[in-house]
Amino acid sequence: MRLRFSRKMLGIPYAVFLVFFVIIPMLIILFYAFTDKEMHLSFGNFIQFFSDPTKLSTIVYSLVIALITTAVSLLIAYPVAYILARSKMKKKFVILLLFVTPMWINFVLRINAIRELLGWIGLLGEANYFNTILGMVYDFLPFMILPLYTTMLKIDESFYEASADLGANALTTFRRVTLPLSMPGIASGITMVFLPSMTNYVVSDMLGNSKVTIIGKFIYEYFGTNWHMGSMVALILLIVVFLSTWLTGGFKEDETVRGANL
């Protein structure tokens, strides 16, 4: 049979990538999570996880830290994105760049810099949770601003005009027009900030002096000593993440296309 080129073949590289770097690793995690040290099938890790208050507390703490980080990022990013998207300013991309450029600087460098700054102010070692959240907000803010900005940019001016024509005041316009239409941006921003702030233990180690333990650190430590428990924690985190993505509507096609338009 002659091999003929078809457009479908363009998908082969991605399929290979998908199999080797997504599907097989997932299966390995699944396998490790439900086996014990002798490689026998076991639910021991699952039971141990849900009967250990330390592990459950860590999940709760990570969730709370991630929620606060997301909320603060949203509160800061929303007005910025709104002003930038609505302004008639000619060089507004410069301001946008100012928010985004930190993202282009090495992550470790930024965290070290903020660590020095906090030490200088005297907060380092005194307010570990505050520092951790501050660091995460600082790091993930661009991921919140960008999707919000792109979504708001696409809101047609005529919507606002119509709203004004129909006698809505500023608050009503915001509630009935801006907010619903920027929902996809909010959803994708939340997904992009919430997930890393549950796992990025470099921030909590550096700014919380390793006294703040989040679920990512847990996984890291277990992979030093017990891969089976580590895989189980990773799997549970995966489920939490999946649920939160689903709840914020991250899987809806039309919305992700618009929201993740970075």
Partner 1 sequence: MKKRRIGALALAAAAALPTLLFSVGCASEDTVVLRVFNWEEYIDEGGEGSYQYDYEVNEDGSAPPIIEDFEVWYEETYGTPIRVEYSTFGTNEDMYNQLQLGDEYDLLCPSEYMIMKLAAEDYLQPYDEDFLDPSIEGNYYAQNVSPYIREMFESNRINKEDPDDTSTWADYAAGYMWGVTGFTYNPAYVEAEELSSLGWDIMRAPQYKNKVTTKDNVRDSYFVALAICYRDEIEALDPDADDYTQKLAAILNRTDEETIAKVEAVMQEMDENIYGYETDTGKADIVSGKIWLNFAWSGDAVYAMDLAEAGEDEEGNETESTLLNFFIPEECANLWFDGWVMPKGANKQAAQAFVNFMSKPENAVRNMYYIGYSGVIAGEEVLSYVKDCYEVDPGDYESEEDYVAYDLSYFFGDTVEEGSAVFYADREQAEERQLHAHYPTLEVTKRCAVMDYYGEEANEAINELWSRVKSETLDTWAIVVICVGVVLVVAAVLTAKFGGKINFFRLPHKKGYRRVRQENCR
Per CB under 8 A, residues contacting partner 1 are: 53-58, 60-61, 119, 124-126, 128, 205-206, 208-211, 213, 218, 221, 223-227, 243, 247, 249
- Closest distance to partner 1 from the beta carbon of 228 (Å): 11
Nearer to partner 1, 85 or 187 (CB): 187
CB of 57 to partner 1, least distance (A): 4
Task: Write down the least CB distance from residue 247 to partner 1, Å.
Answer: 5
Handedness of CA 20, 21, 23, 28 (dihedral sign): positive
The smaller minimum CB distance to partner 1, of residues 65 and 144, is found at 65
Closest CA to 186 of 140, 145, 243: 145
Least distance between partner 1 and beta carbon 223 (Å): 8
> Which tokens hold the place of 167?
């006698």
**Shortest distance (Å) from residue 3 CB to partner 1:** 35
- The smaller minimum CB distance to partner 1, of residues 15 and 60, is found at 60
- For the bound state, the minimum distance from the C-beta of residue 33 to partner 1, rounded and expressed in Å, comes to 17
What is the chain's percent helix, strand, coil content, to nearest 5?
80, 0, 20
| Nearest CB to partner 1, comparing residues 56 and 170 | 56
Q: 54-80 b/e with 16+ CB inside 10 Å = b?
A: ebeebbebbbebbebbbebbbeebbeb
Nearer to partner 1, 1 or 254 (CB): 254
d(CA 165, CA 168): 7
Distance in angstroms (rounded) separating the CA atoms of residues 245 and 143: 15
Rounded to 5 degrees, what angle do the CA atoms 22, 25, 28 make? Answer: 145
Of 100 and 226, nearer to partner 1 (C-beta) is: 226
In 3D space, the residue among 171, 182, 184, 96 whose CA is nearest the CA of residue 141 turns out to be 96
Minimum Å gap between C-beta 156 and partner 1 is 17
Between 124 and 146, name the residue whose CB sits nearer to partner 1.
124
Euclidean distance between CA atoms 113 and 139, whole angstroms = 12
Q: Which of 46, 48, 21 is nearest to 32 (CA)?
A: 46
Both structure tokens of 249: 């509507």
